């Protein structure tokens, strides 16, 4: 019997920082960095960076729903971003760095809207949640040098992440909850 995998797509600012948080979960089969939501076919990084295509930087997560739920992936997503910022993420500014959830099924849309509403109503963040929830159009894989960047260029990745302010935000608003979510796997 063939395995049935599902796809989750999240935009959370620079895609370099959105791969490693998800690869720690059992049931995540593959993660691709790429572009979604723009008006140009087969966009290239330089075009996206210059704000010429309308795309978001995003990650496409292929997962086994028998091992990890979409709801758990949503929880992990919210803990990796500042969903109250509609101008970008942390040090990365511009429309290509906005947050977004791109659903591939009606069940995902419902789950994403519910999780957004609950997070917004919790009052734990510094403002209203502005992350958009949209149907997933075509996802374009980023260039090879962007795939698994944190493994290919660990020193540069660590330096970039350290100065970004992302980890300070996560610590301030989530503390150890992400690690606790991860430990639920075991």
> Active-site positions?
14
Q: What is the DSSP letter of 66?
A: T
Beta bridge partners of 32: 60
Q: Are 112 and 136 in contact (CB under 8 A)?
A: no
Residue 71 makes CB contacts below 8 A (sequence gap 6+) with 111, 115
Q: How many CB atoms lie within 10 A of CB 51?
A: 12
């Amino acid at each position: 019997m063939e395995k049935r995998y599902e796809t989750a797509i999240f935009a959370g600012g620079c895609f370099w920082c959105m791969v490693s948080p998800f690869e720690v979960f059992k049931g995540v089969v593959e993660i691709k960095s790429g572009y979604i939501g723009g008006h140009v076919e087969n966009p290239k990084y330089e075009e996206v960076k210059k704000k010429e295509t309308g795309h978001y930087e995003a990650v496409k997560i292929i997962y086994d729903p028998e091992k990890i739920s979409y709801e758990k992936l949503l929880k992990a997503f919210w803990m990796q971003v500042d969903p109250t910022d509609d101008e970008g993420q942390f040090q990365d500014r511009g429309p290509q760095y906005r947050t977004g959830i791109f659903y591939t099924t009606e069940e995902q849309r419902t789950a994403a809207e519910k999780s957004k509403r609950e997070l917004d109503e919790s009052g734990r963040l510094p403002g209203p949640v502005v992350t958009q929830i949209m149907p997933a159009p075509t996802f374009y894989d980023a260039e090879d040098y962007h795939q698994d960047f944190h493994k290919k260029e660990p020193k540069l990745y660590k330096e970039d992440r350290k100065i970004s302010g992302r980890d300070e935000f996560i610590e301030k608003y989530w503390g150890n909850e992400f690690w606790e979510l991860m430990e639920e796997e075991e």
